[in-house]
Amino acid sequence: MKSRKVFVAGNWKMYKNIEQAEEFAEEFKKIYKPVKGVKVAICAPFLQLQTLKEAFEDTDIAVGAQNMHFEKEGAYTGEVSGEMLTELGIDYVIIGHSERRQYNAETDETVNLKVKKALQLGLRPIMCVGESLETREAGKAKTWVRKQVKAGLKGLTMKDMALVTVAYEPIWAIGTGKTATSKQAQDMCKYIRSCIAKEFTEAVADKVLIQYGGSVKPANAAELLSMPDIDGALVGGASLVPGDFMKIIAR
């Protein structure tokens, strides 16, 4: 039986304005009941972060960003630094989401720089890895994911790893309605843990939280989270609906 906590994080992507974020927070607080051994976070667009921090101030619900730059400041038009996030008291930051890699030229190298910067500032990174359908069908899924894990965690210490969450998000299951079977998800999450063990130690790897992300819904959350190496979920669309998100947390 695994001793690790469960970590359920919502990823709002580019949804909800400030008024809608306020409405969500008020509705969610009415139905939210802490579950023993379960950590909860909502990762929202930058403009909604302060609203959510204030709304959840007296709760155990954490707030995360969906990206950050690895530099403190500079001529990086349109970017937000980790220092700006810490000024707001942000807890988590998603790094290397497949949509960032696909649409915003994220690389394993920039992911690594961002993970290091987040840790330096006391932010807890949620580092995403995952393969495309083409890569999986070519039988190269594990090779691809191993490369992402190794490169993303390069130069980290064993102490650093206590603050890192790894999210396995098969690209073919994000926003498509398709979900990896619990067996497929468990198989890859177990493999990711073995990759972490090779880079660090089995003792370190055994404590790292590994989430699954990819069309997680109330209907499939319980089965996915029952798997021995799946320690939580990075939830997309279902995290936009208070009732659905709570059902996943409570599963």
Cα separation, 161 vs 148, in Å, equals 16
Catalytic residues: 97, 169
Q: Please name the residue that has the structure tokens 């810490």.
A: 86
Residue pair 201/154 in contact by the 8 Å Cβ criterion: no
Cα dihedral across residues 168, 193, 5, 247: positive or negative: positive
Interhelix angle 141-152/182-199, rounded to 10 degrees, is 40
Residues pairing with 39 in the sheet: 7
Q: Structure tokens of 90?
A: 């942000």
